[in-house]
Structure 1
Amino acid sequence: MTTTPSTADHIASTVKVLAFDIFGTVVDWHGSIVREMQALYPAVDGDAFALAWRAGYQPAMARVMRGEQGWTLIDDLHRSILDEILPRFGLAQLSDAERRHLNHVWHRLDAWPDSVEGLTRLKTRFTITTLSNGNIGLLTNMAKRARLPWDCVLSAEVFKAYKPSPETYLGVARVFDLQPEQVALVATHHDDLAAARACGLRTVYVERPHELGQARPKDGTPEPGNDLHATGMNDVARMLGC
């Protein structure tokens, strides 16, 4: 993607904090879950299992946002979805300990191959933080295992609101005592970026064509609303002069 130097230069000179979506943008949730299932339960279709688990994510958060249940950590939402889908995949017999271990696969997700290098480069010039619906414990454990070099771990848990609530995006600016335009969201999801942009943040799209697996390549067509469109994390660093 060709981005005009003036746009990249403007972001590099005015933005102080880069906030990163995590699931899909920084880590490969689908491939990680498939690999985990192949190791633990090889008879199960890991691809279908990963997609089914993730499919319950938005509806579960929506129930909380509608007030049908109280504030809930993503770990607990993941567990409730897991309990619901296990019988569908012939795993209804799993013990509580086995379910707990499997649920914590979200703490063990592998980074995309370029994530650590790209983030390390970006860290030399910007403050880099998570901005994820994942809870703090999950994000911290993930970072420790995958060696993700965050300066700060921010989560929906901090703001008691899930993305795309404005409270999350504007909350980053408040935490760092910045104006919204001094924060950029880096994500591979256009809806996340659109919500951030509506709050005044700058936006950087990162192509992750295999977020949903090799068989389901995502459409990476640039959207004009985003400030930058990058082919990967090192491309973000390149465009921002890191």
Structure 2
Amino acid sequence: MTRNNGTKVEALLFDVFGTVVDWRGGIIREAEPFLRAHGSPVGGPEFADRWRGLYQPSMEKVRTGAREFTKLDVLHRENLDHLVKELGLDPDGPELESLNLAWHRLDPWADSVEGLKRLRKRFLVAPLSNGNVRLLTDMAKRAGLPWDCILGAEVVRAYKPDPQAYRDTAGLLNLQPAQCMMVAAHNDDLAAAADAGLRTAFVLRPTEHGPEQSTDLGPDASWDYVASDLVELADLLRN
């Protein structure tokens, strides 16, 4: 597959949380026994949404230079500590550490493994995620995600949508941005990738945020490809 100027796309780089794996369902599954055991005033869905709600603000401190680069595992744990304190819960350290590792044990969407296997026949496939290497490695081993390589945010020391995250990931693969395509279920991620010079593919995940999701229900711009899932994307790319 080539651009009009003849540049061949060699790598598909994937957002992971929400695009390849169901983060919300996984966190709800793992959090609910913990919440019941500690008499939490909220259930799994609200807990998952509130924990995820702390995700971008914690990374923004890194993006703005307010703190040095810090791995997502550490940010997730800091956010978890904040949330359980806010809810008035008093778990011990090992319980919190186990729950924090729930992000390593997320399930893939039903089409993800098949779609990645098909796409891998023609392209290099790798995550371009804000996750750290160990998190993404554990996730891949458990879920059977067939990445060609695993690159985490700490390798480029930048969090999306910082342009460095996209450009330096391409550089690690000895590719120019135009030789890479960003695959994501989030329009803002694709907009940042396009600004950094990557091609773009939107994959619809209408229940990432639950049954009342109101964002990313369709493409907001003229992305290079739009697909209902990764299997359809493989069909569109003729794999």
Q: Same fold (TM over 0.5)?
A: yes
Q: How many percent of aligned residue pairs carry the same amino acid?
A: 48
Q: Which residue matches 1:98?
A: 95
**Aligned mate of 2:79, from 78, 81, 99:** 81
Equivalent residue pairs, number: 232
TM-superposition CA deviations, 1:25-50 (whole Å, max 9, x none): 00000111111122333454111000
What are the residue-to-residue correspondences of 1:178-193 with 2, within 5 Å? 178-193=175-190
Q: Conserved in 2, the CA contact under 8 Å of 1:210 and 1:218?
A: no
TM-superposition CA deviations, 1:144-165 (whole Å, max 9, x none): 0001000011111101111111
What are the residue-to-residue correspondences of 1:49-88 with 2, within 5 Å? 49-88=47-86
Deviation of 1:174 after TM superposition, in Å, equals 1.0
TM-score between the two structures when normalised by the length of structure 1 = 0.91
**Aligned mate of 2:237, from 228, 236, 240:** 240
Q: Which residue matches 2:159?
A: 162
Q: Which residue matches 1:153?
A: 150
Q: Conserved in 1, the CA contact under 8 Å of 2:204 and 2:218?
A: no
Q: Conserved in 2, the CA contact under 8 Å of 1:207 and 1:230?
A: yes
Q: Conserved in 1, the CA contact under 8 Å of 2:185 and 2:216?
A: no
CA distance in structure 2 between the partners assigned to 1:170 and 1:219 by the alignment: 24
Deviation of 1:71 after TM superposition, in Å, equals 1.2
TM-superposition CA deviations, 1:131-179 (whole Å, max 9, x none): 1110000000000000100001111110111111111111122112222
Q: Conserved in 2, the CA contact under 8 Å of 1:121 and 1:237?
A: yes
Q: SS in structure 2 opposite 1:221? A: coil
Deviation of 1:89 after TM superposition, in Å, equals 3.2
1:128 matched to 2:125: yes
Do the aligned partners of residues 219 and 159 (structure 1) sit closer, same or farther apart at CA in structure 2, a change above 3 Å counting? closer
TM-score between the two structures when normalised by the length of structure 2 = 0.92
Q: SS in structure 1 opposite 2:202? A: strand
**Aligned mate of 1:108, from 97, 105, 128:** 105
1:137 matched to 2:134: yes
Q: Conserved in 1, the CA contact under 8 Å of 2:156 and 2:169?
A: no
Deviation of 1:221 after TM superposition, in Å, equals 2.5
User: What is the RMSD computed on CA atoms of the aligned residues?
Assistant: 1.5
Structure 2, unpaired ranges of 5+: none
TM-superposition CA deviations, 1:169-193 (whole Å, max 9, x none): 1112211222211100000111110
CA distance in structure 1 between the partners assigned to 2:62 and 2:196 by the alignment: 22
Q: Which has the higher contact order (CA 8 A, sep 6+)?
A: 1
CA distance in structure 2 between the partners assigned to 1:121 and 1:40 by the alignment: 38
Q: Which residue matches 1:22?
A: 16
